[in-house]
Amino acid sequence: MVPEIAGTTSLIKAAIDITKAMVGLRDEEKLRTQTFELRGLLLDLQGALHQASEREAHLRSEIRDLTDQIASFNRWTIEKEDYIRKDFGGETFAMVLKTEASNPTHRLCCQCFDQHSRKSVLQKQYNTIHAQEKFFCPACNTNFQFGPWKPSPRVRVVSGGPSPWMTRRPRF
């Protein structure tokens, strides 16, 4: 039994006992004492009922939260089955749809998918000079580079004289 309810039950029993004892009393002093005791018990009972009411509200809130968590977990269990981990080369991974029939092509963040059970669509930023695609996860603020790293094309530097970019400047 919930402690608040058990306490309430014993207070009610004590109040009933005092009331029964008061019925036959003729002594005014004793009646006054019993009335004072009864008033104290009723105040304790009021406090216990208030605590029980708060506890009930707290438990209802916890039940609601747990129900929401279960529903969210069940939705996620179904949704995550639509995705598969894909290697984009160079050991760079993202989650992609198994079939792209109903959704446009997109990549999901593996970190958010695995650790937070959420779908965060990666946003493409640009292609790097190393032939990789740079993406950003807006949920966990992580940058990703997909594809194998390739050396950047070398710029030929001519020793002595002006730099090549200066010599290519258009003449007016």
Query: Least Å distance between CB 72 and Zn ion?
Result: 18
Decide: is 132 part of the binding site for Zn ion (CB under 5 A): no
Q: How large is the angle between the packed helices 3-23 and 28-79, nearest 10 degrees?
A: 160
Q: If DSSP codes are grouped into helix, strand and coil, which group holds residue 76?
A: helix
Q: How far is the CB of 92 from Zn ion (least distance, A)?
A: 14
Contact 86, 93 (CB under 8 A): yes
Q: How far apart are CA 130 and CA 21, in angstroms?
A: 94
127 close to 133: Cβ distance less than 8 angstroms: yes
Task: Give how far the C-alpha of residue 33 lies from the chain's centroid of Cα atoms, to the nearest Å.
Answer: 56
Residue range at the interface with Zn ion (CB under 5 A); choices 40-48, 50-58, 114-122, 164-172: 114-122
Q: Which of 90, 121, 139, 147 binds Zn ion (CB under 5 A)?
A: 139
Draw the binding track, 61-100, toward Zn ion (x: CB under 5 A; -: no contact). Answer: ----------------------------------------
Rounded CA separation 92/109 (Å): 11
Residue 110 sits in the site that holds Zn ion (CB under 5 A): no
Tell me which stretch binds Zn ion (CB under 5 A): 13-21, 56-64, 101-109, 151-159: 101-109
Taking the least distance from each CB to Zn ion, the nearer of 119 and 130 is 119
Candidates 76-84, 99-107, 125-133, 139-147; binding stretch for Zn ion (CB under 5 A): 139-147
Pairing type for strands 93-97 and 83-87 reads antiparallel
Q: C-alpha dihedral over 70, 75, 78, 79, to 10 degrees? A: -140
The residues that touch Zn ion, with contacts defined as CB under 5 A, are: 109, 111-112, 120, 137, 139-140
